[in-house]
């Protein structure tokens, strides 16, 4: 049975999962990893969701205000043992619900072309492709998505 917990970026389980995420991204992104890493700091993130199964933290995600009315989805990750079970979709849904409770109207996010599983996750959950925003504008390996919240 999956248990979702709302917390913040000080949670040690989140910190541990992000280390695994960063290690995975370093392999996928190769030489481009340093560029992305500068935008993936986790200090002072107030809205983190952790997914637990049998007391073990398997997945995480976070939202961070990007601009008034819009949050950015950050640091989505599921450990290999938990993949293919819908955990990421449940974490994402919880983040979207939390964003709605906080009166945000839209989620945006960036992911990499070398992360086809992430692209599939976001498309499956109703995210639409948008032009690359902010620091990702003009970055060939980046793809950006948005979803209007109800």
Higher pLDDT, 77 or 26: 77
pLDDT at 117 over 70: yes
Q: Is 56 in a helix, a strand, or coil?
A: strand
- Asked which of 8-12, 103-107, 133-137 is least confident by mean pLDDT, the reply is 133-137
Tokens found for residue 33: 């990893």
Q: CB–CB of 87/50 below 8 Å?
A: no
Tens-digit pLDDT profile for residues 85-115: 999 999 999 999 999 999 999 999 999 998 9
| End-to-end CA separation in angstroms for the chain | 27
Q: What total of structural domains would you count in the chain?
A: 1
The pTM score is 0.92
Q: What is the mean pLDDT of residues 106-134?
A: 95
Boundaries of domain holding 66: 2-148
- Per-residue pLDDT of 59-79, as tens digits, reads 999 999 999 999 999 999 999
How confident is residue 30, by pLDDT bands cut at 50, 70 and 90?
confident
CATH number at residue 14: 3.40.630.30
The per-residue pLDDT for 102 is 97
| pLDDT at position 33 over 70 | no
pLDDT value at position 106?
A: 98
Task: Tell me the C-alpha distance between 95 and 92, whole Å.
Answer: 5
Mean pLDDT of the chain: 92
């Amino acid at each position: 049975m999956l248990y979702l917990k709302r917390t913040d970026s000080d949670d040690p389980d989140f910190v541990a999962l992000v280390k695994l995420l960063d290690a995975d991204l370093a392999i996928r992104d190769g030489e481009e990893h340093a560029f992305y890493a500068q935008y993936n700091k986790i200090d002072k993130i107030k809205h983190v969701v952790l997914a637990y199964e049998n007391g073990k933290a398997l997945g995480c995600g976070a939202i961070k205000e990007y601009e008034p009315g819009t949050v950015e989805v950050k640091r989505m990750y599921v450990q290999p043992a938990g993949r293919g079970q819908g955990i990421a979709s449940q974490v994402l849904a919880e983040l979207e619900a939390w964003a709605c409770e906080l009166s945000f109207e839209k989620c945006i996010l960036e992911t990499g072309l070398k992360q086809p599983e992430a692209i599939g996750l976001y498309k499956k959950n109703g995210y639409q492709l948008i032009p690359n925003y902010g620091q990702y504008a003009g970055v060939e390996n980046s793809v950006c998505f948005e979803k209007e919240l109800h």
